[in-house]
Every structure is written in C-alpha cells, then in structure tokens.
Amino acid sequence: MNPIIAKYFPGLSPKQVSQFEIMMELYPQWNEKINVISRKDIDNLAVNHILHSLSIAKFLSFTPGTRVMDFGCGGGLPGLPLAVLFPDVHFHLIDRIGKKVKVAEEIAKAIGLTNVSFQHGDSGECHEKFDFVVSRAVMPQEDLVRLSRKNISSVQRNAIPNGVIALKGGDLNAELRGLKNRSETQEISKFFEEPFFNTKKIVYTSI
C-alpha cells in the first residue's frame, strides 16, 4: 500500500488497499496513451492527485446511500478514489471528453468498482438528482453552482446541506464574493502536512 495514503487512511480494508494499489499502477500506464494527468506530474500521482481527491473525505464523510456527481471528472479524479473509500455511495462521473471518460471507465472496471456510473457529455444532458456535486479545478465556483443547481436533490441525508464541493487553489476572495453567505472554505493543509497542500482548499457551497 502506498505509505502516503496509508498514513491518512489507516483503516482501509484489504479490498480497498488492493484497489488503490492497482489504481496507482494503472494511471501511469493509461497516461502514456491518453494524457489525463500532466506528464511532468504523473510521478506525484499519490499526493497531488489521489490524496488530493481524498481530501473531500476529510471534510465530509458521506452517509451510505448518498449520490454524488463528479462534474468534469477527466480521467476519474476525484470520483474514483472517493468511490473506493465510500463503497456504499454512488458516484456518477461526467465529462465532455470521451477518451478521458474511457480511461476512468477502464480503471473502475479493472479495480472492480460497482458503485460508479459514467456519462460522456455536457452536464446539461444529465437530469439525475444528487446530494452533492464534486469537482476538481474545473471552473469558477459561481458557474459550477449555477450549472449544478438543477441536479441537486432536495432530500437531505448528510451532516451538511446538499451542495457543491470543489477542490481549488490560490486566492479565492474574488471568485467567492457572490457566494459568501452560502460558502465555506477549508484549508487542506489542516488535514495533510505535505507542502503541496499549503495553497490548496476545499470550497463548499450549499444549494
């Protein structure tokens, strides 16, 4: 098991450990064919991509039965690592770029994930309802909230109201000015001590 993931998630089952190990092997292999992670950053897969995705789990532990959309999933981040961590939660991964969705599908199949579904297309083509929409540096929060609103369920089952949870970096004051009353920002460095996370944040906006 990768020591970095084991350090922060020590209670993983043998199945989850195996799934993360295979995932760590497959991403570099797929990245050689289809560029889903910057080639200069693939060596930092464990911290900059897998662990970064899992930071959402430190912010909120999803209740079993929760439904989550990964908006602009790319090659499956943050959706696939979260799906491994929360086997009783359903994740729907959507992206406009078909070949990236294909990578996510193939990795999910290889590691035996059964709590995921995939959609190649625009979020406007998705009419399902979810408790949360998660995203990783896809677009400004206000745009993400506007596009996601129709997909957020009115049924509440988690510790915080349904909404959007996004992974972002840098100064977000201007971006969040219009959402301040409904948004919360959490420094990821509160959860993980690696220097990469010093500028990384989780932004939650209730809908």
Query: Per residue in 136-145, pLDDT tens?
Result: 988 999 999 9
Nearest residue to 87 (alpha-carbon basis) of 68, 106, 74:
68
Nearest residue to 185 (alpha-carbon basis) of 152, 141, 148, 144:
141
Cα(142)–Cα(129) distance, integer angstroms:
19
Q: What is the pTM of this model?
A: 0.97
104-126 tens-digit pLDDT: 999 999 999 999 999 999 888 99
26-79 tens-digit pLDDT: 999 999 999 999 888 999 999 999 999 999 999 999 999 999 999 999 999 999
Residue 159 has pLDDT above 90, yes or no: yes
Cα(128)–Cα(115) distance, integer angstroms:
15
Amino acid 137: pLDDT:
80
